[in-house]
Structure 1
Amino acid sequence: MKILVTGSAGFIGFHVCRYLLRRGDEVVGIDNLNDYYDVSLKQARLDQLLPEERFSFVRLDIADRDGMARLFSEGGFDRVVHLAAQAGVRYSLENPHAYVDSNLTGFVNVLEGCRQQKIQHLVYASSSSVYGANETTPFAEADNVDHPVSLYAATKKANELMAHTYSHLYGIPTTGLRFFTVYGPWGRPDMSPFLFTSAILAGEPLKIFNHGKHRRDFTYIDDIVEGVVRVLDHVAEGNLEWSGLTPNPSSSRAPWKIYNIGNSKPVELLTYIELIEKAIGKTTSKQLLPLQLGDVEHTYADINALTADIGYRPHVTVEDGIQRFVDWYRTFYGV
């Protein structure tokens, strides 16, 4: 198959591209290589992919309407994995327009490309952040997600609604994946494993929000990627039993589906930090701070639907995953 992967120089996008190439697919990756975080890390990921014979790269912003239209019209793609987005809950408080441009305008451009070129299946990144003010755990796809607590979360919920509209109107199969705290080698520098590892190695105090009472469903990158590709191969279909009288929020008569994808084993943040310190062999002081605006206290994925439909089962323990991340960090940065 010929597959378009947006955000191919990003954390998850890079790993998805590598997996698809290793199994023999032809992959076209796009990324705008913006400076939201260290561009050299994005380039280093990309440098791992460029030598691959079946990989080609286009530097392009998904918010570029004309550029995206040309990409789709000339690309001959069979399926699309859409992972490009403006990420980060806290940054959405500082630069909201970046989220509108990438996560809303950019997503419309992807949907339009899929419509015009009759793409077989669009798999796109949603987020556990959509659960917002929901307090019922584990988070299930049937839960109400109408109360986001950050603009980032609101844009991801909007993506799910926009995808449904295109699935309903044009019959485009779309599947949204609500990612739960993805971590591992080549991860993003703005996420906690990276921040904590960097600070501990430098002997700097850790800033720990919500006084360390967060619990997160940390999910290792390899488990995420296997789930993404299995979903890509499992083309969304309409649910013939769906009823508007008792609507199932995760499916539709249209070929549209929503899944959680996580580890389903939440870990207390302070425990997670202890595991990082153990992997490094060094401790540092902690600065306990209040809950930040836009943050949710707990995430916990109900993955029963994904397990039932595609056999998804995460395999990497948090202890193992942290050790792999720390080993990669030390090697990559030479520390």
Structure 2
Amino acid sequence: MIDLLDGGRLEGIGRFWLAPMAGITDAPFRTIAHRRGAELVFTEMISAEALVRRNRNTLSMLEPSLDCGRWGVQLVGSDPKTVADAARMAEAKGASIIDINMGCPVPKVVAHKAGAALLREPQLVAEIVGSVRRAVSVPVSVKLRAGWRAPKVDAFEIARIAEAEGTDLIALHPRFADENYSTPARWELIAELKARLKVPVAGSGDVMSEAAAVRMIEETGCDVVLIARGALGDPWIFERARALLARGTSSPKPSPEERLRTFVEHLNLALEVWSEDVALHRMKKHLMWYSSGLAGSRRFRKMVSGCGDLKSLASMAERFFAEAKDGA
């Protein structure tokens, strides 16, 4: 297989990207994913309106602050000028790509005619994409869901409009806006979208292993794989996927010792960015994910949930991983 995206604004950005995840893809986690093979990492979804209003918490989400390699900013909004202004701010901060979210189904987002609501607003999509494309020089992508409600696939028309307005890549999460993870992702829709467009296509959905990441490329022809839940507790998925695609083989999953080393590294990165209280809140969930699949992890996660300080959390992690073996 060729290495992708040779030519245009996306040249050399790679095939396996960390997808935006609310409350998760902060600067420390983006750095961990980058160090373990993610070729591009995204911020959490950022409100364009809050960014332009210079909301302090929102501005902090835009700070790369750590060495997380090439990083993208995902914006959500419905006013073309506001989204374009936010895109300019993101580019000025050093973002490598601007993604416009047109797939988030959360009611408070949809109520403002943003996210997945844009699947029903083709004219507004054209205005937003065109406005952002004219505002920045970095690549612009659009993230879609399959459609507002099954069986009507709105993504094909919206993608065509976005392509005509100059987007550099279309990303598709092939579930409908009212579907959750219990519904299997329809990878065949990614393949059909790829066949319809000239611009590169990114796929996401149900990529929980390196084998699934490579299979998505093989089955759909997509140019990029966005990995979300599959990276939780397993940031090594990116280097394994790259190895599997390039050589047909990949390294085994990390040992308990490697999980502990990565957790400690992650914790130290968190302390570079936040206070101990904030770091404790953020890192407890990551420690639960790092322990997943090891013997005793269910009981351990309950202990982590009740932990009240970082020193105890670190000691708890050291004891658990020292005694851990692969298992349920």
Q: TM-score, normalised by structure 2?
A: 0.39
Structure with bigger helix share is 2
Q: TM-score, normalised by structure 1?
A: 0.38
Higher relative contact order at CA 8 Å, sep ≥6: structure 1 or structure 2? 1
